[in-house]
């Protein structure tokens, strides 16, 4: 009955490789997000999708490409991995509500380590 699930939980790979992280939510939310949390624990928004449409696209290298096949899934593909990509990547979801009082629910994170 996991609400926001992302796989894999740990990802160790070499520089230059291409990898994907998957995220699925069963909360019926229409908005999904990807965040990056670096070694200093700073949580930064990368992308936001609402009903499969890109809403937020922060200044992120174009090696990072999100894909939303449906509103319950938001996957993150990363090309040509670099050392600086090592971080914890969190997926989150929420209802879209311009009133803003819709909390985001987070997955358990994917710990990406680049060798």
- Residues of the shown chain interacting with other proteins in the complex, contacts defined by CB under 8 A: 4, 31, 40-45, 48, 50, 55-56, 90, 94, 96-109
The nearer residue to other proteins, 14 or 41, going by C-beta atoms, is 41
What's 80's DSSP letter?
A: S
**Smallest gap, in angstroms, from Cβ of residue 65 to other proteins?**
19
Q: Are strands 10-13 and 110-114 parallel, antiparallel or unpaired?
A: parallel
| Two structure tokens written together for 20 | 């994907």
Return the CA Rg of the chain.
14
Torsion of CA 8, 19, 21, 12, to 10 degrees: 30
The nearer residue to other proteins, 3 or 15, going by C-beta atoms, is 3
**Smallest gap, in angstroms, from Cβ of residue 48 to other proteins?**
7
The nearer residue to other proteins, 3 or 115, going by C-beta atoms, is 3
């Amino acid at each position: 009955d996991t609400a926001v699930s992302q796989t894999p939980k740990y990802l160790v790979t070499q520089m230059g490789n291409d990898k994907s992280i998957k995220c699925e939510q069963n909360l019926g939310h229409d908005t999904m997000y990807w965040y990056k949390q670096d070694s200093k624990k700073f949580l930064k928004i990368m992308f936001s999708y609402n009903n499969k449409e890109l809403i937020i696209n922060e200044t992120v290298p174009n090696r990072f490409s999100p894909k939303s096949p449906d509103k319950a899934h938001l996957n993150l593909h990363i090309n040509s991995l670099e050392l600086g990509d090592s971080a914890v990547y969190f997926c989150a979801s929420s209802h879209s509500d311009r009133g803003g009082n819709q909390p985001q629910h987070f997955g358990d994170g994917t710990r990406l380590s680049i060798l």
